[in-house]
Chain A
Amino acid sequence: MPLTTQAIEIESLAKSYGRLRAVDGISFKVGTGEIFGMVGPNGAGKTTTIECLEGMRFPDGGVVRVLGLDPRKDGHELRERIGVQLQQSALPDDMKVWEALDLFASYYRKPAPWQPLLERLDITDKRNTRFAKLSGGQKQRLFIALALVNDPELVFLDELTTGLDPHARRSMWDLVRAIRERGKTVFLTTHYMEEAEHLCDRVLVIDHGHVVALDSPANLVRGLKSEIRILFTAEPGFDPAALRALPGVTRAEKNGEKVIVAGQGDRLIVVVVNALDAAGVRFRDLRTEQPDLDDVFLALTAESGLDGGSR
Chain B
Amino acid sequence: MKGFWKLAWVEIKIYLRQPEAAFFTLVFPMLLLFLFGSIYGNKPNAFFGGRGMVDVSTPAYLAMIIGSTGLLSMAISVSSYREKGVLRRYRATPLRPAAMLASQIIVHFLMTLFGGVLLIASARLVYGLRFEGRPLDVLFGFTLSALSFFAAGFLLASVARTARAANILGMVLYFPNLFLSGATIPKQTFPQAVKAVSKFMPLTHVVNLLQGLWIGDPLGKHVLEVAVLAGLLLIGTAISAKAFRWE
Contacts and interface: CB of A to CB of B under 8 A. Distances in A.
Interface of A: 54, 56, 76, 79-80, 84, 86, 88-92, 94-95, 99, 102-104, 106-109, 130, 143, 146
Tier of interface size on chain B = 20 to 34
A88 B93 contact: no
A108 B84 CA distance: 23
A84 B85 CA distance: 14
A173 to B, nearest CB: 23
B69 to A, nearest CB: 17
B102 to A, nearest CB: 14
Contacts of B95: 107
B81 interface: yes
28 contacts: A56-B91, A76-B94, A76-B96, A79-B92, A80-B94, A84-B92, A86-B92, A88-B88, A89-B85, A89-B92, A90-B86, A90-B89, A91-B86, A91-B89, A92-B11, A92-B81, A94-B13, A94-B14, A103-B3, A103-B6, A106-B2, A106-B7, A107-B3, A107-B93, A108-B93, A108-B94, A130-B17, A146-B89
A90 B85 contact: yes
Interface in B13-70: 13-14, 17-18
B86 A89 contact: yes
A86 B6 contact: no
B168 interface: no
Contacts of B2: 106-109
Interface-centre pick from A56, A107, A130 (highest chain B CB count, 10 A): A107
A107 B86 contact: no
Most buried by B among A92, A102, A146: A92
B92 A88 contact: no
Contacts of B13: 94, 99
B110 interface: no
B92 A56 contact: yes
Nearest to A55: B92
Given A92-B81, A94-B14, A107-B93, 6 more contacts: A54-B92, A79-B93, A79-B94, A92-B14, A92-B86, A103-B6
B146 to A, nearest CB: 22
Contact of A89 (B6, B18, B88, B94): B88
Contacts of B96: 76
Contacts of B91: 56
A95 B84 CA distance: 14
B139 interface: no
Which A-B residue pairs are the 7 nearest by beta carbons? A89-B89, A89-B85, A90-B84, A107-B3, A94-B17, A84-B92, A106-B3
Contact of A95 (B3, B14, B93): B14
A17 to B, nearest CB: 13
B10 interface: yes
B10 A103 contact: yes
Contacts of A104: 93
Nearest to A99: B10
A103 B7 contact: yes
Given A76-B94, A79-B94, A88 B6 contact: no
B97 to A, nearest CB: 10
A234 to B, nearest CB: 58
Interface in B92-109: 92-96
Contacts of A94: 13-14, 17-18
A143 B84 CA distance: 14
Interface string B70-87: 000000000001001110
A163 to B, nearest CB: 15
A99 B6 CA distance: 9
Contacts of B85: 86, 88-90
A130 B17 CA distance: 10
B92 to A, nearest CB: 4
Nearest to B95: A107
Given A79-B94, A103-B3, A95 B10 contact: yes
Contacts of B14: 92, 94-95
Contacts of B81: 92
Contacts of B18: 94
A106 B94 CA distance: 10
Contacts of A143: 89
Contacts of B10: 95, 99, 103
A91 B94 CA distance: 16
Contacts of B88: 56, 86, 88-89
Nearest to A57: B247
Nearest to B87: A89
A76 B92 CA distance: 9
Nearest to B93: A107
A86 B90 CA distance: 11
Contacts of A76: 94, 96
A146 B92 CA distance: 11
A99 B96 CA distance: 19
A307 B91 CA distance: 30
A64 B10 CA distance: 36
A86 B3 contact: no
